[in-house]
Amino acid sequence: MLEIKQLHAGYGGIAALNGISLKVDAGEFVSIVGPNGAGKTTMFKVISGSVVPRSGAITFNGEDLLAVPAHRRAHLGIAHVPEGRQVFPQLTVEENLEMGAYTEAGRKDWDSNIDYIFQLFPILRERRLQQAGTLSGGQQQMVAIGRGLASSPKLLMLDEPSMGLAPAVADSIFEAVVDIRRQRNLTVLLVEQRAVEALESCDRGYVIETGNVMLEGPQAELLSDDRVRQAYLGM
């Protein structure tokens, strides 16, 4: 579904991605772990179009993604749930969700999508007329994920969904993501610093450091790798 080849990107004279290559097959759950500054968020921004790469190639379902304007990429089926949630604080929960449904597929599937989102996150149904800026961090993360789902995506990209959340709340968010993948057969690409949860949830994973892929492999292989266990799992 998604293939990245030799991607280079950065900001000014600072390189963030140094020839990174990876792929995500349809229906897979792929996790990307690594320290702060590794280039994970930059890679997501290149995929969604807010950062222009210096070189490299990205294909999505066989189409040259870099030739597609940023505002059209969501219509291809790519939903980017950004780091820090970035809800529209003055809009209600339901209005935030409607903002995600601007794609052709999202408009067509709105009724079924909103029902599913409220089933997944019942608290959002209760708070649907409340301004999103007044919600807790965990509830705002639910809104951000729901907004992504409202576009009827083929690929759901989640950037640090546990950031700033209490452990129990973060656990519930991870459980919801696993449920989404199972119930909707969605392809999921997750960037996360909580390496244990990220790797335990995925089919395959990548370890990125300083803009390069250092390790990649199936879940079990990465969880048993001594380098991963020492650097990221505290073992």
> Which domains, from first to last, does the chain contain?
1-77+155-164+189-234 (3.40.50.300)
Two tokens at 112? 């079924």
Which residue in this structure is represented by tokens 């650097």? 231
Tens digits of residue pLDDT in 68-124: 999 999 999 999 999 988 999 999 999 999 999 999 999 999 999 999 999 999 999
Tens digits of residue pLDDT in 130-187: 999 999 999 999 999 999 999 999 999 999 999 989 999 999 999 999 999 989 989 9
Q: How far apart are CA 38 and CA 35, in angstroms?
A: 6
pLDDT at 234 (0 to 100) = 66
Q: Which of 1-10, 31-40, 111-120 is predicted least confidently?
A: 31-40
pLDDT at 137 (0 to 100) = 95
Task: Please state whether the predicted TM-score (pTM) of the whole model is above 0.85.
Answer: yes
